[in-house]
Amino acid sequence: MINLIPKEEKKKMIKAFYYRLGILFVVMLNLCLLVAFFSILPSYFISSVKNSLINTRLENQKLKLLPPLGEESLALIKDIDNKLSLVEKFEKNKFLVSSEVINAILLQKIPDIKITQILYKNDEINGRKISITGIAPSREVLLLFRQLLEDSPAFTSVDLPISNFVKGSDINFHLSLIPSEHNK
């Protein structure tokens, strides 16, 4: 097919097409923005009304005085105070083993001795007590370990039963320690 339109006229037509396409795009964008604005407008008014209602209620509540506490409220407060004081007393009497006690045991430990278990007890009759179970290669090493623990200021008492000395080597031992006051 023969193209009868001159090149300059063809360029003008293409330019006019792009102008019309641009104008159409801008008009459609404005139309979409206008529809979006009108669709969001009711939500904006509703939220602003709710916000003003909430603010007025808040101001009204701030202006009102609190009523005096009744007998039931005072009894409830007293009951809660009693329960809290019981919890606080329990927490005071709780035996928390600090890292100081464990470090004191491990610092006195001789390399030949193997500690297999450390138990913490808090009896109402016997008080606070630490039990150590382990294996010692000989009686002499076990006696030396006991002496080191007795010399430590971290413990007030070290109890090593005589039954631990029945075997001559590879002794399974049980030690009972009472921590000093500053390590409780």
Note the pLDDT tens digit of each residue in 54-91.
999 999 888 877 667 778 888 888 888 888 887 777 66
- Neighbour tally for 177: CB within 10 Å: 25
User: How far apart are the C-alpha atoms of 75 and 92, rounded to whole Å?
Assistant: 26
Q: What is the CATH number of domain 99-183?
A: 3.30.1360.100
pTM (two decimals): 0.46
What is the pLDDT at residue 1? 65
- What are the b/e assignments for 134-149, b being 16+ CB within 10 Å? bebeebebbebbbeeb
User: Who wins on pLDDT, 49 or 89?
Assistant: 49
DSSP one-letter string for 56-108: HHHHHHHHSPPPPP-HHHHHHHHHHHHHHHHHHHHHHH--PPPHHHHHHHHHH
Average pLDDT for the chain:
85
CA 45 to chain centre: 43
The pair of structure tokens assigned to 173 is 């031992």
